[in-house]
């Protein structure tokens, strides 16, 4: 699913979606619910697990390829971002 499609489904700007996915922008709770609905996941899937919180490794980053650009995203969001990117293919 493209960022443009998510933006259209949520009423947010594509740049806001990109910044959220890269961990640069925080969404208000009601927008987070719209985002989860647009990408077809439960809202809870967007948050780190209790184990990840207990491990205290939320500052860790992973690199993800977005087209020709490589971006860093929080480790606890990396699998989710990869899954969403895979749906658009």
CA distance 59 to 39: 24
Q: So what's the pLDDT on residue 64?
A: 82
Q: What is the per-residue pLDDT across 44-71, written as a single tens digit (0 to 9) for each?
A: 888 877 776 766 666 677 888 777 778 8
Please report the pLDDT score of residue 89 as a whole number: 47
Average pLDDT over residues 73-84: 76
d(CA 70, CA 56): 25
CB 10, CB 46: distance < 8 Å? no
> E strands along 18-83, which residues?
61-66, 69-74
For 3-87, which CATH class?
A: mainly alpha
In the chain, where the domains are located: 3-87
Model pTM? 0.57
Mean local confidence (pLDDT), 18-25: 82
């Amino acid at each position: 699913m493209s960022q443009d499609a998510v933006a259209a489904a949520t009423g947010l700007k594509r740049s806001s979606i990109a910044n959220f996915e890269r961990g640069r922008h925080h969404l208000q709770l009601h927008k987070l619910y719209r985002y989860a609905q647009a990408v077809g996941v439960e809202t809870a899937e967007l948050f780190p697990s209790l184990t990840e919180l207990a491990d205290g490794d939320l500052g860790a980053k992973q690199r993800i390829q977005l087209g020709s650009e490589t971006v860093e995203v929080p480790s606890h969001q990396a699998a989710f971002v990869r899954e969403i990117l895979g749906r658009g293919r």
